[in-house]
Structure 1
Amino acid sequence: MTTGQPSFPRQYARTQRFTLGAPRGYALSPDGARVVFLRSASGTDRAQRLWVLDLDEGREFTAADPLALLAGADEELSPEERARRERTREGSAGVVGYAVDEAVELAAFTLSGRLFVSELRAGTTRELPVQGPVVDPRPSPDGRRVAFVAQGGLRVVSVDGGATSDGGAAPDEESASDDGAGDTRTANTRTADRLLAAPDGPQVTWGLAEFIAAEEMGRHRGFWWSPDSDRLLAARVDESPVRRWWIADPAHPDREPVPVAYPAAGTANAVVTLALLGLDGSRTEVTWDHVRYPYLARVHWSAGGPPLLLVQSRDQRDQRYLTVDTGTGATRTVHDDEDEVWVEPFPGAPAWTPDGRLVRIADEGGARKLFVGDRPLTGAPLHVRAVLDVGEDDVLFSASGTDMKDIGVYRAWFRGSGDQGGWERVGARPFPTVSSAVRSGELVVLSQASAEWPGARVEVLRLDADGGEKTLATLASYAEEPQLTARPRFVLAGEREIPCAVLLPTGYTEADGPLPVLLDPYGGPHGQRVVAAHHAHLTSQWFADQGFAVLVADGRGTPGRSPGWEKAISRELAAVVLEDQVDALQALAESFPFDLERVAIRGWSFGGYLAALAALRRPDVFHAAVVGAPVTDLRLYDTHYQERYLGHPDEEPAVYAENSLVTDEGLSGAVEPHRPLMIVHGLADDNVVVAHALRLSAALLAAGRPHEVLPLSGVTHMTPQEQVAENLLLLQVDFLKRSLGMA
């Protein structure tokens, strides 16, 4: 190795999986003049900056540099902001997120709990003195005000620093000084913000997404501006019914444990309601059947129609699309989805077309389709994943086809030229890609990753009404290039045609003979691993270069193929996902140099659960396992996720017992011989708490099964720390080589 060059594990950790320095988080002005985005200054710089690309002048400039705004001071994050970043798996620093007004003239964001706004045409940024610490600031569509959450209350401030009420009243006395509840930075400093909704209980917040919404439903917001900028629709979250768990740090016994409101399967959820809050001080409660539909999955409010809600039943077999009467708060059902297995909320849906038609994604006839009104715009073989934008005549969406690894951006018309039906791909390449896009008017930012090149290529396109494309610019990436090249071979395995990627050591030839095999799956819901993107396979290639044939298999339960493929795991989670890993391994052994006498498996989160299943229940196939942050006692994981796949534990206890790893029924599937296991878990994990690993270890010890436990002090579910992430890979390789008898 060249002197001074870091190892791949260190480079991988230092660059946060080669994401630092790459552009992300786009907003496009409707006049087609500006593209706003985030990017750090280099491939190892964690501090994200706010950038503007002026298309008319053809230049990029920085609108907000956190180093300058904080005068070099380190960031200080509030508990609420830390929780938001954990839920979104955000590991970088600086301007990690922002929101813009309708014209994309103004951006609002936080640094160290302080509120900043950027004038995007001029590229200037200033701080607004408000109560803090600030969470999730969002400008009104007209750009005159910013709403935000502080100390659990929803507040609003004028961008010019003046009064916030429509009548021109002065700021209320509560917000004029700190009064002991706000950020000490603003103590004795008069602020111009106004409180719209205050917590009415110690476990109540306004304007924030609760744990279940953020972790499982993909809803990270808790308030929404009206199109006219005169009121907000805000979520009130009452966590008092939720059981409290305590996250302690055994490495620092002097520190108090941190309480976490965690709704484990079968227990009470937070109570989530909505209210319309006028800037004039008015409040209107939004009503629906909260007992039947306790989950608020989506909220949409645009000029195309009244506020639109997607609510779900607790068993997730029924979800309703509701419109809100903004005068009375009453709701009306405009559509109802039912499924005997489960219904699914999707990114970007529901929404309105500009002329008031409902845009949704639903499973019908064995396919996942895009609908406008009652009309399906797509059908098989497309498997629709998300709505990206709704235009005057068309819908921009992402989907995969028969080739699951190929995820494209498409447009389908619902009037005009689209009356002939069909869809077409945006930015089509002659090879598979993993693509995403953001659009405003005719302007599109298209990001495409591929196995053909490292990283992602980001282009600014102009789309015309007939589907024509013109490339206007390319956004530069400062991300580092990895010191190794991933060479996945994509294949379909067995009768079920399980999507797989196989990676062999760099320079391997048939003369080198059979290789020990390492399965490297996620293997479960929402976790597709076999994708046509180079960086997705870097860690697997590094393991291959240590002397393994690495197999990544996306069996039933993983997304991308069909509703039936995903829902095959219902009530039979353990048996189905494990069977597909075994079948893929055995089917591909005929065509790849697999030494089936030396087979290991590694995984994290659901992949850790799958790795433990493999070693305990199929030791005839698997000879060692690295079990990372596993869910082992399925009653200890959250309501929305676990009850979707296994039902309510009080109603179906046998299902939980059979699929868990630590129950008598679950361990009864463990057979001889004993196989080496390394269990790894972060002690600060508030998603899959370390109790899962400890209970597995206790059950293994009681059964006389040797194993290793690697506790990670101060580490959450993300493992973002550079040295931890590096050494974790090195320790895994050492364990696997020892366990398989490799030199």
Structure 2
Amino acid sequence: MKLSSLGLALFLTTVSPALLPGFAPVAVAQQKQNITLEDIWQKGTFSAKSVPGFNWMKDGRYYSSLSKGNLVQNDVTTGQPVQTLVAGQDLKLAGQSQPLQVDGYSFNADETKILFSTDTEPIYRRSSKAFFFVYDRAAKKLTPLSAGGKQLYASFSPDGKRVAFVRDNNLYVTDLATMQETAVTTDGAFNKVINGGTDWVYEEEFEFAQGFQWSPDSRQVAFYTFDETEVPEYNMQEWGPLYPKDYRYKYPKAGEKNSVVSVSVYDVAAAKTAKMDVGAEKDQYIPRILWTQTPNLLSIRRMNRLQNKLEVLHADASTGKTQVVLTDTDKAYVEVNDDLRYLEGGKEFLFSSEKDGYRHLYLYDMKGKLVRQLTKGNWEITSIDGFDEKKGLVYYTSTEGSALQRHLYRVDLKGKGKTRLSEAGRGTDAVNLSPDTRYFLNYHSEAGVPAVVSLRSGQDGKLVKVLEDNAKLREKLGQYNLATPEFFTFKTSEGVELNGQMLKPVGFDATKKYPVLMHVYGGPGSQTNADSWGGTNYLWHQMLTENGYIVVIVDGRGTGARGAAFKKVTYANLGKLETVDQGEGAKYLATLPYVDKARIGIWGWSFGGYMTTLALTKNADLFKMGVAVAPVTNWRYYDTVYTERFLKTPQENPQGYDDNSPVQHADKLKGKLLLVHGTGDDNVHFQNSVSFVDAMIKANKDYQTLYYPNRNHGIYGGNTRLHLYRQMTDFVLKNL
């Protein structure tokens, strides 16, 4: 059966997954194929398609993308190319016969110039360096941005006349008319001072790496300086050559010294730098800077080290004088996001807060006086996606429909006219709104159903065109023995209702007893149990159901989308209630007539690895086995920003660190454990697994370990994932 684009989109968002290709009745399931690890990790059998390289252009009617070495302009209403903006053959330097191998690009504001990047080299999770080139579209001229080595974060000024970038921990500005390069700072040095970028912990936990911003009028550049001289170094060995190489970098573990952070503004015309007054306290965080819509006015967010007080400062960029205009506090912690938006006209700004128990939108005047609360209810917004200045409309994603789902809504600045723009029905929508809000790209998926990418109207959410329906993937999935995800809830012995998801083997027989593997992450504000396409772990879980296992996910206390009280109840005792709830999940499953209560296992990665080691020790009688990948085993080993947000410092709360450290409970281990870690993990250090192994040896406990040389926290590259999941699969089959 073939459907039109409109019919297809409506079909996907309204029918049950059981009626989609890939969810055939049990009666014919035995004729289908079984998933293999090679399908998931080597052949790309189940790779979902998207709309690659999508970048909105200033006219919301078009987007640009790289295609076969060319930069192409596409019509969003058809998805078809309308013109070649830059031919790959034009990207040649003088005297060179071959064009650049471009891996990224960005336009200036009027789209007359383009920054192309080549030979991009990743550093940590969000940082990378590359060679950048400036392309003048009118002259068809390509010019290297700098001859001094690779650059980071190269960015056009809004007027397109200059480019700022970072090299060797210093900030530079290049005048494109003369290609004259000016060093804004000169004191940058590795492991000492960073200008224009962030240190490791800001990049990882505050989720940004570029540490400078152009002012809207292009006259100034605001930038960070990190003095990390006093931050202790962590040393990782890089294995391979005859003598392993040391890699030392600044990593502030809980309770240790952080970087001293300052904010300055460079006046381009005057070639002068003014330092902003962020207060006398050095042991604090500056997690965001943002130019307002008012000339010469910079917004700075400041937090105390315990992160339970967030202040919005307005700074005079010329003098550095600051004023606190808004303060948000919490008994536990305040989280940082990108919801702060300054409105045109310089009179008001949007801000989100959990102060009424759920994250909602608030409108303030520039002096910090509350104008009104724009959204309210026992649900929360998860992002601000766009703003229509002319009509005064805020676009946001929220959990109003269900804590398991995400949908797009719109509300005006009076808090009226709230409209759901996502289609009615289940699932999760992730959106990419055009700058003028005329259109949005919608990525809609459901549990067990891969994403449909569609273009929709920003006015009413109506479908314009399906750009990618993943029909081939759904057809492919229909050839395999796939279980239908089932959502459920249960109440713990304390009366707490928890959400769960279950995959039962195809051909499930309620009169039989099945082993269960639970999957957990469980970190503060996270959500593993969601009505969305589950990706590779979902496919691996499906493979396990083909081997006769039930796979279950339970989101316990501390996870997100259910309000501040549910999330922050774990404060200062990280791991305690979360472990209780995974145990309660196992106890609930044990009451089901088709579950073999003697064969319940658990696995997780990162925080989920931490939860797995705790489950196997503190709940040793409930779990037969577990697989812990890259786990934290002692929060004293993890970084300041994340750990202290939820536990305070170890000096203030030593019991919170020690009482729920798996290292302290190694002697309770009974089940089979596979412990996995990458030796090059710059995030959760290999030290965590070494410490836990040492504790198990002292307790005379048996275990299995699997380490991956030089692999980072993601443990990937080449055959790595295939190898890892083969070992995990074998361990489950042998021990559960």
Q: State the TM-score, normalizing by the size of structure 1.
A: 0.83
Indicate whether 1:213 and 2:209 are aligned.
no
1:493 aligns to 2:490 (yes or no): yes
Name which of 204, 212, 220 aligns with 1:231: 220
Contact 1:225 1:233 in 2 (8 A): yes
Return the alpha-carbon distance in structure 1 between the equivalents of residues 717 and 441 of structure 2. Answer: 31
Name 1:317's counterpart in structure 2.
Answer: 308
Deviation at 1:424, TM superposition (A): 2.0
SS state at 2:730 partner = helix
Residue in 1 that maps onto 2:699: 703
Q: Deviations over 1:457-511 (max 9, x none)?
A: 22333323xxx24544444488983755563211222242212111122343435
For the Cα contact (< 8 Å) 1:276–1:283, is it kept in 2? yes
Give the AA of the match of 2:80: R
Contact 1:603–1:626 at 8 Å: present in 2 too? yes
Q: For 1:53, which of 74, 93, 100 is the aligned residue?
A: 74
Distance between the aligned counterparts of 1:411 and 1:122, measured in 2? Answer: 43
CA distance in 2, matches of 1:479, 1:267: 52
Partner of 2:565: 564
- SS where residue 588 of structure 2 aligns? helix
Deviations 1:62-95 (A, max 9, x none): 76799996999999xxxxxxxxxxxxxxxxx973
The SS at the match of 1:688 is coil
Contact 1:382 1:400 in 2 (8 A): yes
Residue 294 of structure 2 corresponds to residue 294 of structure 1: no
Is this contact kept in 2: 1:612–1:625, CA < 8 A? yes
Alignment check: 8 A CA contact 2:452 2:470 kept: no
Aligned equivalent of 1:196, options 184, 191, 195: 184
CA 1:56–1:632 in 2, change beyond 3 Å: closer, same or farther? closer
Taking the TM superposition and a 5 Å limit, the aligned residue runs for 1:272-291 are 272-280=261-269, 281-289=271-279, 291=281
Q: Is 1:358 aligned to 2:349, yes or no?
A: yes
Aligned to 1:110: 117
Pair 520,285 (structure 1): closer, same or farther in 2 beyond 3 Å: same
CA distance in 1, matches of 2:686, 2:90: 39
2:72 and 2:660 mapped to 1: Cα distance?
48
Letter of the aligned partner of 1:690 in structure 2? F
Relative to structure 1, the CA distance from residue 699 to residue 323 in structure 2 (aligned partners, 3 Å threshold; closer, same or farther) is: same
The answer to whether the Cα contact below 8 Å between 1:207 and 1:236 also exists between their aligned partners in 2 is yes
Tell me which amino acid in the other structure corresponds to 2:285: Y
Match of 2:628, SS? Answer: strand
| Within-5 A mapping of 1:32-431 | 32-36=60-64, 52-55=73-76, 59-60=80-81, 95=103, 98-103=105-110, 106-112=113-119, 113-117=130-134, 127-159=144-176, 162-163=177-178, 171=180, 193-202=181-190, 203-280=192-269, 281-289=271-279, 291=281, 294-303=284-293, 306-346=297-337, 348-356=338-346, 357-373=348-364, 374=370, 375-392=372-389, 393-401=392-400, 403-414=402-413, 419=414, 421=416, 423-431=418-426
Correspondence for 1:541: 542
Distance in structure 1 (CA, Å) of the matches to 2:311 and 2:132: 36
- Which residue number corresponds to residue 553 of structure 1? 554
Q: 1:220 to 1:400 in 2, by over 3 A?
A: farther
RMSD across aligned positions (CA): 3.3
SS in 2 for 1:235: strand
8 Å CA contact 1:486, 1:538 repeated in 2: no
Deviation of 1:27 after TM superposition, in Å, equals: 3.6
- Per the alignment, residue 454 of structure 2 pairs with 459
TM-superposed CA distance for 1:52, in Å, is 3.6
Q: Is the 8 A contact 2:293 2:343 kept in 1?
A: no
Contact 2:332 2:571 in 1 (8 A): yes
One-letter amino acid of the counterpart of residue 502, structure 2:
V
CA distance in 1, matches of 2:55, 2:508: 45
Number of the residue aligned with 2:735: 739
**Contact kept? 1:23, 1:37, Cα under 8 Å:** no
Query: Conserved in 1, the CA contact under 8 Å of 2:586 and 2:600?
Result: no
Letter in 2 for 1:287: D
Per mean C-alpha deviation after superposition, the further-off stretch among 567-576 and 475-484 is 475-484
Gap change, CA 1:116 and 1:428, over 3 Å in 2: farther
Distance 1:591 1:706, change over 3 A: closer
Change (3 A) 1:315 1:505: same
CA distance in 2, matches of 1:343, 1:652: 18
Residue 524 of structure 1, CA deviation: 1.2
Provide structure 1 residue ranges, at least 5 long, that are not aligned to the other structure: 42-47, 76-92, 165-170, 172-192
Q: Determine if the alignment matches structure 1 residue 576 to structure 2 residue 577.
A: yes
By how many angstroms is 1:249 displaced?
2.9
Which residue is equivalent to 2:14? none
Return the alpha-carbon distance in structure 2 between the equivalents of residues 156 and 58 of structure 1. 37
The one-letter amino acid of 1:424's match is T
Counterpart secondary structure, 1:598 = strand
Q: Does 1:510 align with 2:531?
A: no
Structure-1 separation of matches of 2:734 and 2:89: 46
The correspondence of residues 620-635 of structure 1 with structure 2, limited to 5 A, is: 620-635=621-636
- What is the distance in 2 between the residues matched to 1:573 and 1:140? 44
TM-aligned CA distance change 1:538 to 1:273, over 3 Å: same
Question: Aligned to 1:406, what secondary structure does the other structure show?
Answer: coil
Contact kept, 8 Å, 2:62 with 2:75, in 1: the verdict is: yes
Q: Which amino acid aligns with 1:728?
A: L
Q: Contact 1:556 / 1:566 at 8 angstroms: preserved in 2?
A: yes
Q: Secondary structure at the match of 1:659?
A: coil
CA–CA separation in structure 1 for the residues paired with 2:199 and 2:652: 25
Shift of 1:221: 2.2
Aligned residue pairs, count: 668
Aligned to 2:660: 659
Amino acid at match of 1:462: S
SS at match of 1:343: coil
Residue 7 of structure 2 corresponds to which residue in structure 1?
A: none
Contact 2:48 2:451 in 1 (8 A): no
SS at match of 2:434: strand
**Deviation at residue 277 of structure 1 after TM alignment:** 1.1
Q: CA deviation at 1:390?
A: 2.9
Match among 28, 41, 47 for residue 56 of structure 2: 28
Q: CA offset at residue 351 of structure 1? A: 1.9
The change in CA–CA distance for 1:157 and 1:54 in structure 2 (over 3 A counts) is farther
Cα shift at 1:527: 2.9
Which region of structure 1 is more displaced relative to structure 2, 573-582 or 113-122?
113-122
- Measured against aligned partners, the alpha-carbon deviations of 1:242-279 in whole angstroms (never above 9, x if no partner) come to 10111103454523210121000000111221111122
Q: How many angstroms does 1:615 deviate by? A: 0.6
Q: Is the 8 A contact 2:406 2:428 kept in 1?
A: yes
Distance in 1, matches of 2:38 and 2:97, equals: 26
Residue 248 of structure 1 aligns to a residue whose secondary structure is strand
- Matched residues, percent identical? 25
Q: Is contact 1:63–1:118 with CA below 8 Å preserved after alignment?
A: no
Name the CA shift for 1:261/1:412 in 2 (closer, same or farther; >3 Å): same
Q: Deviations over 1:169-206 (max 9, x none)?
A: xx2xxxxxxxxxxxxxxxxxxxxx33222235552121
